[in-house]
């Protein structure tokens, strides 16, 4: 603290700071967001960001933000590459729109397939753990059956 005063830096909860920031600091929580400059509650990683298309929040749909990002990058790359090869601006624009559509759709299906596969595997593991806890110590316990089968072999 003495070092901060010597260098001329003031703490975040100084008297000049607006009342809302002082209240957050007085509660003992809150910190200044590194990129946004927004005061965040303790335990909050980033402020709520939303991107809406036709009233639908795209950020909450799995794979949607990444699909649009990769689609935009793919469309720009394909359109620019076509323009550099052919020097036809209007046709390159159409190729870029087609590249955006194809890249977005392709990545969407790839990501959704992997998302469904991970969700299925997670569900199977959760059910296996539940069954293991349910049957542990009973005659249906798989580990107990495996041990008794080994004893019979020996």
- How would you classify the pairing of strands 52-53 and 56-57? antiparallel
* Measured distance CA(37)–CA(47) in Å, rounded: 10
pLDDT computed for residue 16 by the predictor: 47
Residue 131 pLDDT class (50, 70, 90 cuts)? confident
pLDDT computed for residue 35 by the predictor: 43
Residue 15 pLDDT class (50, 70, 90 cuts)? very low
Most confident of 9-18, 21-30, 122-131, 139-148: 122-131
Position 113 pLDDT exceeds 90: yes
Domain boundaries, the chain: 2-40, 52-135
Q: Are 62 and 118 in contact (CB under 8 A)?
A: no
Q: Tell me the pTM.
A: 0.54
Encode pLDDT of 33-51 as tens digits. 444 444 545 555 555 667 7
As a whole-number percent, the residues of the chain with pLDDT over 70 amount to 65
pLDDT computed for residue 49 by the predictor: 65
Q: What's the rounded mean pLDDT across residues 78-93?
A: 95
* Angle between helix 64-86 and helix 89-135 axes, rounded to 10 deg: 150
pLDDT computed for residue 21 by the predictor: 45
3-class secondary structure per residue, the chain: CHHHHHCCCCCCCCCCCCHHHHHHHHCCCCEECCCCCCEECCCCCCCCCCCEECCEEHHHCCCHHHHHHHHHHHHHHHHHHHHHHHCCHHHHHHHHHHHHHHHHHHHHHHHHHHHHHHHHHHHHHHHHHHHHHHHCCCCCCHHHHHHHHHHHHC
């Amino acid at each position: 603290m003495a070092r901060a005063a010597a260098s001329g830096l003031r703490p975040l909860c100084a008297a000049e700071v607006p009342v809302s920031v002082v209240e957050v600091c007085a509660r003992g929580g809150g910190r200044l967001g590194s990129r946004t400059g927004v005061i965040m509650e303790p335990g909050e990683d980033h402020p709520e960001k939303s991107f809406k298309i036709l009233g639908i929040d795209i950020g909450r749909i799995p794979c949607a933000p990444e699909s649009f990002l990769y689609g935009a990058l793919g469309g720009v790359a394909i359109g620019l590459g076509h323009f550099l090869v052919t020097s036809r601006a209007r046709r390159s624009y159409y190729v870029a729109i087609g590249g955006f559509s194809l890249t977005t759709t392709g990545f969407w299906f790839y990501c959704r397939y992997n998302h469904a596969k991970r969700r299925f595997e997670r569900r199977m593991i959760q059910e296996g753990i539940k069954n293991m806890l349910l049957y542990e110590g009973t005659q249906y316990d798989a580990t107990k059956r495996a041990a008794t089968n080994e004893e019979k072999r020996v």
